[in-house]
Amino acid sequence: MDFTLTEAERLIRETAREFAQKELKPVAGELDRQHQFPEKPLRRLAELGMMGMTVPETDGGPGASAVAHSLVLMEVSRACASTGVILSVHNSLACGCLVRFGTPAQKQKHLPGLIRGTILGAFALTEPESGSDAAALRTVAVRRGDRYLLTGTKAFVTSGRRAGLILTFATTAPDRGREGITAFLLEPGFPGFAVGRVEEKMGLNASETVQLHLEGCEVPADNRLGAEGEGFEIALKLLEGGRAGIAAQAVGIAQACLEEAVAYAKERRQFGQPIAAFQAIQHQIADMATQVEAARLLTLKAAVLKDAGRPARVASSMAKLYASEAANRVAAAALQIHGGYGYLKDFPIERHYRDARVLTLYEGTSEIHRLVIGRHLAA
């Protein structure tokens, strides 16, 4: 889809690719093994203007397109999926919430730090008892004068221990279901805010995932995002962009798997020739490459629709559904081509295989996206 890119988008992609391949890829394996948060790579991304990159120029940001953002996420995730998901959450959900729903005062207070990368953004919707059924969340917000008291637990919060701003959802009217959900901008210094356990995960080990505990957490009323009861709609609109971001992450991981498989197949010799010469391997590689390209096109289509101001919810779900499942198929095939060596941590494919597995789970499971797409088509 290069023929549709603007010169600015090509330049952004090349800048991201150079950074990812020269600076990020060489350290990605060690970051994963040491469960080390990628502080230096994130600082470099901020220096390159890729933290808060889609924030409009009118709000002090670079004003890059959604297409450019997808291209950056593909390149970063191709090198290190952990860094890719941190960047996606920061840009799509944290910066996105302020750009779309923030007041002028909220933007002035928070956007400069998010764009410079001096503070990191996070998103807290999921709870221990509410995942796909987000409307069933139990965190309660009670108004007390000029502030709200939030009580509850949030789960699976990417960068929750590192974030300086956390978009959090709670119910201000428990009897009203989704119509009672309200959005808040939490800061870690608020009384009653505590970080819980850092989860031990299968993959994305350089990205921290935590629980957050809110015990009467005091949130100024000025930190409410939108009106009371608008939180669920805010979450849905933001997740449209978030899902497109995860689709881009999936494309990046799948591309890395394809490249590792092709390189290994050319080097590995069996029965007197490289295994790349065998038709069975060629067929596998052909299928992998086709799936990667299809996932890339679906992802960029969703970004193009967003840039055009057209509805992109279904396109984002299609991109996320297909790209996440394709990445898992491609990762499995790439590991198979590596044979027993693919099962060893010495080879990057082992990390890519683990990182790919979560793609069909977060930002909406594959089952949820099939519901979104199916309901739209059957309406």
363 carries an active-site annotation: yes
Between 323 and 1, residue with greater pLDDT: 323
Where do the domains of the chain lie?
Answer: 2-120, 122-228, 233-378
Confidence of residue 150 (pLDDT cuts 50, 70, 90): very high
Please state which of the four CATH numbers 1.10.540.10, 3.40.50.1580, 2.60.40.1180, 1.25.40.20 is assigned to the domain occupying 2-120: 1.10.540.10
Confidence at residue 151, expressed as pLDDT on a 0 to 100 scale = 98
- Mean pLDDT on 82-94: 97
The per-residue pLDDT for range 28-51, each reduced to its tens digit, is 999 999 999 999 999 999 999 999
Percentage, residues of the chain above pLDDT 90:
96
Q: Which residues of 360-371 are buried (b: 16+ CB within 10 A; e: fewer)?
A: bebbbebebbee
Q: Which of 14, 233, 363, 367 is catalytic?
A: 363
| Superfamily per CATH, domain 122-228 | Butyryl-CoA Dehydrogenase, subunit A, domain 2 (2.40.110.10)
Fold of 233-378: Butyryl-CoA Dehydrogenase, subunit A; domain 3 (1.20.140)
Same fold yes or no, 2-120 and 233-378: no
Average pLDDT value over all residues in the chain: 97
* Nearest one of 323, 350, 58, 102 to 202, comparing CA atoms: 350
The per-residue pLDDT for range 231-282, each reduced to its tens digit, is 999 999 999 889 999 999 999 999 999 999 999 999 999 999 999 999 999 9
Beta partners for residue 111, in sequence order: none
The per-residue pLDDT for range 108-143, each reduced to its tens digit, is 999 999 999 999 999 999 999 998 888 899 999 999
